[in-house]
Amino acid sequence: MVFRKPPDGGWGWVIVVVSFFTQFLCYGSPLAVGVLYLEWLDAFGEGKGKTAWVGSLANGIGLLASPVCSICVSSFGARPVAIFSGFMVAGGLMMSSFAPNIYFLYLSYGIVVGLGCGLLYTATVTITCHYFDKRRGLALGLISTGSSVGLFIYAALQRELIDLYGLDGCLLIVGALSLNILACGSLMRPLESSDSTSPEKTCVDKVPDQYFVYHEKEKTVEENISILEKGYIDEKCVNNVPDYKQDNILNKNVLSSININEKDTYKKKVVEQTNFCKQLAKRKWQLYLNYWEETIVLFKNKVFSALFVAILLFDIGGFPPSLLMEDVARSANIDEEDYHMPLISIIGIMTAVGKLTLGILADFKWINTLYLYVITLLMTGVALFAIPFAKSYLTLAMLSGILGFLTGNWSIFPYVTTKTVGIEKLTHAYGILMFFAGLGNSLGPPIVGWFYDWTQEYDTAFYFSGFCVLLGGFLLLLAALPCWNACTNQSSQLPPNTYSYKVASSA
């Protein structure tokens, strides 16, 4: 399917607004789960690594299921998926208020809410990329700030709701707020394709002709019966002599002829239906083969192959601070009088600033978005190495702000993916990359929690996190540099739907 040219405005700005509020409502609680994490530690008395699985699943399971989410959006459209996912997020949050143990939370909060968020994220990103081309970086930056603003507000909101109504009441109220996703999803009008079929054509018209062969056969049998009956009646009228013996013989001949024709028609009907099913199965199998062939072609691109390694290592190391920073401050014995604002809120608001700033920078032609993404990875690794040396609220707040701003590189990641593989392959490629991102999100916080359970301090854990992020950044840089010139020299040989990078003079 070939979509018509993105309008870069018009109804696209409505898409940006509703996508912003969709990510605000669905990701507010999962990203601010660090506040709930402390309550679950006290309520269930489990280890830090075991309890951290709840938040990591909520943020990782949707990304792990990104290929499935991409297929759902491609098959059903962004609007139906968004509405259905709104019910999932709201239902999962409300179910979590009745959790009797940590294992129930794995299902209700981790899997149900996480999968709903993954579907909503894929739907909002995909439909925004369809509506914008020249301003795609700005549009993606605006919608991605929704989750960051949600993190900032929900961190304080959930803490206030816990003080007023307890943990169960907090989850019920937050789940009720998530029902507003349904209204946002109803406004996600799809961008019509240029090769759309006429509405008069029904689904029946698309069925192969051979599937209806047996209907013609049945019609022939009915005509034969009518002819035989008509001939029999005419013959009786001409002779006008009652001959019961002749009547019985003729009836037997008619019935035997009908039975033979019906048997032949039934056999042919079975054969035609069997052939149709075989052709349908063969066609579906060919689609699966084409999917894996396209996946192999994607991984032959060095930049794309390095991207999936970088995003995996980045989420293993870069995601835990947003979940565990509150517990880091408590473990450092920081005085509550110096605790002016939740560290998670600082991460959230600075992530919003980072997403918007990096998204705007990505639209400048003289800025290379891949190099910009690599710089954010390297700086994130350095900031993670500095966390063990932060022993006061001020230093932790500064590092939280830096990490939040750099985490805003999520806004340019779809931009980099689109420029690497083209808009036609965005859904396929982005689903694969988000699968590895979800794997990193799911593993990162539990690994840091296990390091604490093992060593009773966070220093070793954040050294490990910083090393992972730096390694991913260097691998992506090494893969991009030699490939860059090759892609530039061979740009004329690339397919028309594939984009190549050029090294900016100021990069």
The DSSP result for 398-439, as a single string, is: HHHHHHHHHHGGGGTHHHHHHHHH-GGGHHHHHHHHHHHHHH
Is the same domain home to 184 and 305? no
Buried b (16+ CB within 10 A) or exposed e, 215-237: eebbeebeeeeeebeeeeeeeee
Torsion from C-alpha of 20, 137, 342, 387, nearest 10 degrees? 150
* Structure tokens, 90: 């709201």
Residue with tokens 């962004």: 78
- Residue 432 and residue 294 in contact, taking contact as beta carbons nearer than 8 Å: no
Backbone angles phi, psi at 498, to 5 degrees: -115, 140
* Cα 212–Cα 213–Cα 215 angle in degrees, nearest 5: 70
Domain boundary among 158, 192, 226: 192
Q: Is residue 251 part of a domain?
A: no
Supply the pLDDT for residue 407: 87
Q: How confident is the model at residue 87 (pLDDT cuts 50, 70, 90)?
A: very high
pLDDT at 251 over 60: no
419 or 507: which carries more pLDDT confidence? 419
**DSSP 8-class letter at 189:** P
Q: Is residue 336 part of a domain?
A: yes
Q: How confident is the model at residue 477 (pLDDT cuts 50, 70, 90)?
A: confident
Is the same domain home to 349 and 469? yes
Domain boundary among 165, 192, 219: 192
Q: Is residue 200 part of a domain?
A: no
Q: Is residue 337 part of a domain?
A: yes
Q: What is the CA radius of gyration of the chain?
A: 31
Supply the pLDDT for residue 415: 77
Could you read off the pLDDT of 259-269 as tens digits, one per residue? 566 666 766 66
Residue 471 lies in domain:
301-484
Q: Give the sign of the dihedral formed by CA 106, CA 107, CA 108, CA 111.
A: positive
For residue 411, give Cα distances in angstroms to 141, 266, 362, 415. 5, 60, 9, 8
Supply the pLDDT for residue 81: 92
Q: Is residue 60 part of a domain?
A: yes
Q: Which residues does residue 3 pair with via DSSP β-bridges, in sequence order?
A: 193
The most confident of the ranges 20-24, 30-34, 281-285, 370-374 is: 20-24
Supply the pLDDT for residue 108: 93
Average pLDDT, the chain: 76
Q: Give the sign of the dihedral formed by CA 66, CA 67, CA 68, CA 71.
A: positive
Residue with tokens 């022993």: 391
Q: How confident is the model at residue 8 (pLDDT cuts 50, 70, 90)?
A: confident
pLDDT at 39 over 70: yes
Is the same domain home to 306 and 157? no
pLDDT at 300 over 70: yes
Q: How confident is the model at residue 1 (pLDDT cuts 50, 70, 90)?
A: very low
Is the same domain home to 16 and 136? yes
Q: Is residue 229 part of a domain?
A: no
The DSSP result for 283-301, as a single string, is: HHHHHHHHHHHHHHHHHTS
Is the same domain home to 174 and 306? no
130 or 181: which carries more pLDDT confidence? 181
Q: Is residue 244 part of a domain?
A: no
What is the SS3 string spanning 54-70? HHHHHHHHHHHCHHHHH
For residue 480, give Cα distances in angstroms to 140, 310, 369, 370. 23, 12, 12, 8
Separation of alpha carbons 190 and 169, rounded Å: 37
Domain harbouring 450, CATH code: 1.20.1250.20
Supply the pLDDT for residue 258: 55
Q: Is residue 426 part of a domain?
A: yes
* pTM of the predicted protein model: 0.63
Count: domains in the chain: 2
> Which contacts of 421-426 are long-range, i.e. CB under 8 A and separated by 24 or more positions?
421/298, 421/301, 421/304, 421/498, 422/495, 422/497, 422/498, 422/499, 423/3, 423/129, 423/130, 423/133, 423/497, 424/497, 425/294, 425/298, 425/497, 426/126, 426/129
3-state secondary structure of 89: helix
